[in-house]
């Protein structure tokens, strides 16, 4: 029976296996802290990337004030593992979800969530009243992503006024996430888009305070915009997630700021023709929503999936010979999108100096409710 253990050589792992290079990951954490050191802003990493309580605790030990999650089910996993200060960054709507939130807050009162409508807020208030609980909420503001969020400015102030009539909700602040700007490849265009979003957020913060609202959280930013957002004095916390392990898409956007700590170990199954190899990693192992994965060591080798279980690697004769890869060779692939690739696996193999140092379950994979 296959039973990998801590201390095993990485080369003994079966493939495909999801790897974390601990040296690179730890360097990424250090780099983030250094890049934020000149600003009085906290970081609340988004755990929808890591999906692992063990990684969440590593981030808390490194100075994170808590974590973000996207769904109630993710919050349940993280809270049960002792991560108490959680912000659910998506609106909670529907009786089953709301009831799960009630039970979660009963046991973990530091859990917070966002609202962007009076109807949604009323449903939360009614459920909390029935449970005699109080829920901390932030108003989500649409600062340009055009996903969820109330419009900036007066519409946000109106919703904040309406929250006053809901005594089982406690208004704690605002969230304004500029997801549309994170992966803009051109640095000047990314800066411009992020600043437009931040101007909307900060103007709304000023309008709320002018209307007499006191609150302590202004949360925003991601891996691609965190330094821009941190330069605004009103911002209290940032929500980067991908910086921890990185992926090929972000690497093309940001360059070598953070290292590719996350890779997929694969095996060459076949060499059906010159300058083409087939590996054991297809759509069930590497997501393609942000483009194609890339071999860690050969940027001139192109990957594409060949169905669920297989992937193709091709290269030009001018870049390498026909003997670049042989049947049985193993190589590491950098996923194009870390979040969605991680969600395909049950286990991380964390390694250092060629040895497996830790085996971590990806406990919140598939937690989409």
Flag whether pLDDT at 52 surpasses 90: yes
Flag whether pLDDT at 155 surpasses 90: yes
Tokens encoding 221:
């930013």
Q: What is the pLDDT of residue 327?
A: 98
CATH topology of domain 24-243: TIM Barrel (3.20.20)
Percent of the chain with pLDDT strictly greater than 70: 100
Q: How confident is the model at residue 38 (pLDDT cuts 50, 70, 90)?
A: confident
d(CA 241, CA 233): 22
Tokens encoding 303:
């990957």
Q: What is the mean pLDDT of the chain?
A: 97
Flag whether pLDDT at 278 surpasses 90: yes
d(CA 76, CA 84): 10
Q: How confident is the model at residue 15 (pLDDT cuts 50, 70, 90)?
A: very high
Partnered with residue 31 across adjacent β-strands are none
Per-residue b or e along 71-99, where b marks 16 or more CB atoms closer than 10 Å to that residue's CB: bbbbbbbbbeeebebbbbbbbbeeeebbe
Beta-carbon contacts of residue 248 (< 8 Å; ≥ 6 apart): 260, 290, 291, 292, 293, 294, 334, 335, 336
- The answer to whether the beta carbons of residues 50 and 246 sit under 8 Å apart is no
Beta-carbon contacts of residue 75 (< 8 Å; ≥ 6 apart): 69, 86, 88, 104, 108, 111
Question: 106-147, pLDDT tens digit by residue?
Answer: 999 999 999 999 999 999 999 999 999 999 999 999 999 999
Q: What is the pLDDT of residue 94?
A: 97
Query: What sign for the dihedral angle of Cα 81, 84, 85, 86?
Result: positive
- The answer to whether the beta carbons of residues 150 and 139 sit under 8 Å apart is yes
Flag whether pLDDT at 323 surpasses 90: yes
Flag whether pLDDT at 290 surpasses 90: yes
Flag whether pLDDT at 317 surpasses 90: yes
- Across 34-48, average pLDDT: 94
Partnered with residue 302 across adjacent β-strands are 314
- Across 57-72, average pLDDT: 98
d(CA 325, CA 268): 7
d(CA 285, CA 282): 5
- Across 347-354, average pLDDT: 98
Question: 220-265, pLDDT tens digit by residue?
Answer: 999 999 999 999 999 999 999 999 999 999 999 999 999 999 999 9
């Amino acid at each position: 029976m296959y039973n990998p253990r801590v201390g095993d050589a990485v080369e003994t792992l079966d493939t495909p296996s999801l790897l974390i290079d601990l040296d690179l990951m730890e360097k990424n954490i250090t780099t983030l802290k250094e890049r934020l050191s000149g600003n009085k802003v906290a970081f609340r990493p988004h755990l929808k990337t890591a999906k692992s309580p063990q990684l969440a605790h590593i981030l808390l030990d490194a100075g994170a004030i808590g974590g973000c999650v996207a769904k109630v089910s993710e919050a349940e996993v993280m809270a049960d593992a002792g991560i108490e200060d959680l912000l659910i960054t998506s609106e909670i709507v529907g009786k089953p979800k709301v009831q799960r939130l009630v039970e979660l807050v009963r046991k973990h009162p530091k859990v917070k969530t966002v609202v962007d409508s009076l109807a949604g807020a009323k449903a939360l208030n009614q459920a909390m009243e029935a449970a005699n609980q109080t829920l901390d909420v932030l108003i989500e503001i649409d600062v340009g992503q055009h996903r969820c969020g109330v419009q900036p400015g007066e519409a946000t102030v109106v919703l904040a006024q309406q929250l006053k009539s809901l005594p089982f909700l406690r208004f704690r602040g605002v969230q304004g996430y500029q997801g549309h700007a994170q992966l803009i490849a051109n640095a000047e265009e990314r800066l411009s888009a992020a600043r437009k979003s931040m101007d909307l957020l900060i103007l709304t913060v000023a309008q709320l305070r002018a209307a007499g609202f006191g609150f302590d959280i202004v949360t925003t930013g991601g891996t691609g915009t965190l330094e821009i957002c941190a330069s605004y004095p009103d911002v209290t916390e940032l929500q980067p997630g991908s910086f921890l392990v990185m992926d090929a898409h972000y690497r093309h956007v940001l360059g070598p700021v953070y290292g590719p700590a996350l890779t997929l170990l694969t095996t060459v199954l076949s060499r059906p023709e010159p300058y083409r190899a087939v590996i054991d990693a297809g759509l069930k192992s590497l997501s393609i929503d942000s483009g194609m994965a890339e071999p860690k060591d050969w940027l001139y080798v192109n990957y594409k999936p060949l169905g669920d279980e297989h992937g193709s690697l091709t290269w030009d004769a001018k870049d390498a010979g026909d003997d670049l890869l042989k049947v049985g060779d193993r190589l590491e692939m950098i996923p194009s999108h870390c979040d969605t690739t991680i969600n395909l696996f049950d286990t991380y193999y964390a390694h250092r100096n060629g040895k497996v140092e830790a085996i971590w379950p990806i406990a919140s994979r598939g937690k989409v409710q």
